[in-house]
Chain A
Amino acid sequence: MGLELFRIDDRLIHGQVVVGWGQPLDIDFIVLVDDEVAASEWEQELYRMGVPPEMDVHFLSVAEAGDRLREFAADGRPGILLTGDIETMQRLAQATGLVRRVNLGGIHHRAGRTQRMRYIFLSPEEERALRDLAASGVEVVAQDVPSARVASLDEVLGGRGDR
């Protein structure tokens, strides 16, 4: 129990998270870690309105999440932690040492990024950050939905994740 999934997804809370992962994992809470969302009531309301009422959502900055990560990890209920980018997850992992496995769920096209999988586009800096994350002992994998094959970081960076 506790945090069952640490996911990087630029859409944050959306269908794949709430339904695709939320249903099979029987998720009771989501921890959304994003400095911008944590500072905006409007953004929080936007995300909260789409989530089933029985599901708790915590909106936290990286610093706040770092302080409370052990508490969420020890929660008796299953939960998902989300960040919208690699840097945020990397900061959280470095600050806490409690992130063991990271799921790349959706990093979409943007200027300067190269496509690595159907749903993964990375800039050279982001690729370096993922390698650093892996070198620090965090397992990095890509899997958009539970029924999809898990792709290793080597497969992602080698463009072989969709095979």
Chain B
Amino acid sequence: MSSNRPPALVVTHANLADGLVSAVRQITGRAGDFVTISNAGMGADELERVIRETVERTGARVVFTDLPAGSCAICSRRVTRAVEGLVVVTGTNLATLLDFVFDEDPSPESAARRAVERGRASLTVVGASRGS
């Protein structure tokens, strides 16, 4: 990571995290910015433990998750109670992660907030609607 921030976690349903991070790698050539976790096969207690232990091991201060109502987001938010400065992003998409990777801000939270705006702005509908 260019700003020497610790890696961020990407916690998702099934293999989405690996897929997103592999796309980041293909586009940027960078591999070490994220640590991925899948919730597959895990109950809430186990998932929360795995996230907490990974945050403690890596020093991560940002956790990117998918659905706001999903177990990945809910368990990550539980971890914020125990880890000061940890922030959780929901609704993560590829544009979000790409912006985060290239943001030079040493503050993980600030970089995450900008990345969220970029990810939100990337959602568009194009085409159709001609006389429909």
Interface residues of A (CB under 8 A from B): 10-15, 17-19, 42, 46-47, 49-52, 106-110, 118-119
Q: Which residues on the A side are within 8 Å of B45 (C-beta)? A: 10, 108, 110
Q: Which residues on the B side are within 8 Å of A118 (C-beta)? A: 41
Shortest distance in angstroms between A10's beta carbon and chain B's nearest beta carbon?
Answer: 5
Considering only CB atoms, which chain A residue lies closest to B43 in the complex? A108
Most buried by B among A10, A18, A49, A50: A50
Is the CB–CB distance between B42 and A14 below 8 Å?
A: no
Is the CB–CB distance between A10 and B78 below 8 Å?
A: no
Interface residues of B (CB under 8 A from A): 13, 41-46, 66-71, 73-74, 77-78, 81, 90
Among candidates B13, B41, B43, B68, residue contacting A50 with C-beta atoms closer than 8 Å: B68
- CB-defined A-B contacts under 8 Å, sample of 30: A10-B44, A10-B45, A11-B43, A11-B44, A11-B71, A13-B74, A14-B67, A14-B70, A14-B71, A15-B13, A15-B67, A15-B69, A15-B70, A15-B71, A17-B69, A18-B67, A18-B69, A42-B81, A46-B74, A46-B77, A46-B78, A49-B68, A50-B68, A50-B69, A50-B73, A50-B90, A51-B69, A108-B43, A118-B41, A119-B41
Q: Which residues on the B side are within 8 Å of A110 (C-beta)? A: 43, 45
Is the CB–CB distance between B74 and A47 below 8 Å?
A: yes
Is the CB–CB distance between B43 and A14 below 8 Å?
A: no
Instruction: Tell me the complex Cα distance, A144–B97, Å.
Output: 30
Considering only CB atoms, which chain B residue lies closest to A18 in the complex? B69
Considering only CB atoms, which chain A residue lies closest to B67 in the complex? A15
Q: What are the nearest 4 A-B pairs in CB distance?
A: A108-B43, A50-B69, A15-B70, A14-B71
Interface of A is mostly: loop
Q: Which residues on the A side are within 8 Å of B41 (C-beta)? A: 108-109, 118-119
Instruction: Tell me the complex Cα distance, A110–B42, Å.
Output: 10
Instruction: Tell me the complex Cα distance, A14–B47, Å.
Output: 13
Instruction: Tell me the complex Cα distance, A17–B90, Å.
Output: 17
Q: Which residues on the A side are within 8 Å of B71 (C-beta)? A: 11, 14-15
Among candidates B43, B67, B81, residue contacting A106 with C-beta atoms closer than 8 Å: B43
Instruction: Tell me the complex Cα distance, A11–B68, Å.
Output: 14
Is the CB–CB distance between B46 and A109 below 8 Å?
A: yes
Shortest distance in angstroms between A140's beta carbon and chain B's nearest beta carbon?
Answer: 19
Given A46-B74, A46-B78, A50-B74, A13:B43 Cβ within 8 A? no
